[in-house]
Amino acid sequence: MLSKNKIVLQAKNLQVCYGNHQVLKDFSCDLPEGFMIGIIGANGSGKSTFLKAIMRIVPVDSGEVLFWEKYNLQEVRHQIAYLPQRNSVDWDFPATVLDVVLMGLYKETGLFGKIRPKHKEKALFYLEKVKMQDFAQKHIAELSGGQQQRVFLARAFAQEAQLYLLDEPLAGIDAVTEEIIVENLQKLNSEGKTIVMVHHQIDTISEYFQYLLMIRQGEVITSGETKEVLTNENLQQIYGIKQAFVIQ
């Protein structure tokens, strides 16, 4: 059952700087629970930094983030799955596909515990969801970009979270992989999970997302249900161009 009134993530006046460059400026937003939420904006607008700031992967200069209206990150970290950009890791690292998905089961295995057959079975179950079960014993370097993304997604699914923060999961992948990923995300969403995803393809925004957070140069331009905020004016504003977009 969806509870779409609750706020799953509340950012209050976030400020993040990389050296002298201010990436997030007084960034505030309320994201509702149970939605497929798209974060859109031009390159360098602070979309990925916002997700990293939420997870405290980058230092936050000031501001506050609350989850489910009252909890801080430490209290709910295990309810959140974060999927980094694919190019953030070294794909030549000596690991198999199964090893990567097993990382997502850290809540069960612990960081010092032993991997047991039941953990491997569970990891295979999540690999099957993204149609990668036949690749379990393959070295991750042998995979295509789309397959790597699916493995990353299987790891995120294995975390069995309530909130999924995905940094460009559809970047640089083929149509088949995109279909598999979106299908899985929509299924998760139908089970009541919240999906927050950095997205770049304008033509699929209205199809994939029920709610949008539109960003420009580290500031929130607007947020709201897709049908209300996905307008030519807003798109022109976030991308900083005058050309009209064709919105279906």
Partner 1 sequence: MTNFEYVLLGASFIAISAGIVGVWLVLRKEALRSDVVTHSVLPGIGIAFLLFQEKKLWLLLLGAFVTSLLSLVSLDTLSKHTRLKKDTLMALVLSFFFACGLWLLVKIQESKNAAKTGLGNFIFGKMASILPEDILFALIVLFLVVTINFLTYRWLFFTSFDRTFSESIGVKTSLASFIVTFMSILTIVVGIQAVGVVMLSALLIIPSTIAIIIEKKNLSRIFVWSIGINILVIVIGTILSYSFPKTPTGAWIVVICFLIALVFFLKNNKK
Spatial distance between the Cα atoms of 70 and 32, rounded to a whole number of angstroms? 14
Spatial distance between the Cα atoms of 176 and 153, rounded to a whole number of angstroms? 15
SS3 186: helix
Would you say how long the chain is, in residues?
248
Q: Can residue 203 be called a binding residue for partner 1 (CB under 8 A)?
A: no
Binding mask 32-61 for partner 1 (x = CB under 8 A): --------------------x--xxx----
Q: Can residue 93 be called a binding residue for partner 1 (CB under 8 A)?
A: yes
Q: Applying CB under 8 A, what is the total number of residues that bind partner 1?
A: 33
Q: Can residue 74 be called a binding residue for partner 1 (CB under 8 A)?
A: yes
Spatial distance between the Cα atoms of 163 and 68, rounded to a whole number of angstroms? 10
Radius of gyration of the chain (CA): 18
Q: Can residue 100 be called a binding residue for partner 1 (CB under 8 A)?
A: yes
Q: Which stretch binds partner 1 (CB under 8 A): 38-46, 61-69, 106-114, 186-194?
A: 106-114
Spatial contact of 222 and 214, defined as CB atoms under 8 Å apart: yes
Spatial distance between the Cα atoms of 65 and 73, rounded to a whole number of angstroms? 8
Q: Can residue 116 be called a binding residue for partner 1 (CB under 8 A)?
A: no
Q: Which stretch binds partner 1 (CB under 8 A): 135-143, 184-192, 214-222, 230-238?
A: 135-143
Among 77, 120, 131, 200, binds partner 1 (CB under 8 A): 77
Max alpha carbon distance in the chain (Å)? 57
Q: Can residue 139 be called a binding residue for partner 1 (CB under 8 A)?
A: yes
SS3 209: coil
Query: Which stretches of the chain bind partner 1, using CB under 8 A?
Result: 19, 52, 55-57, 74, 77-78, 80, 82, 84, 88-90, 92-96, 99-100, 103, 106, 109, 111-113, 138-141, 155, 159
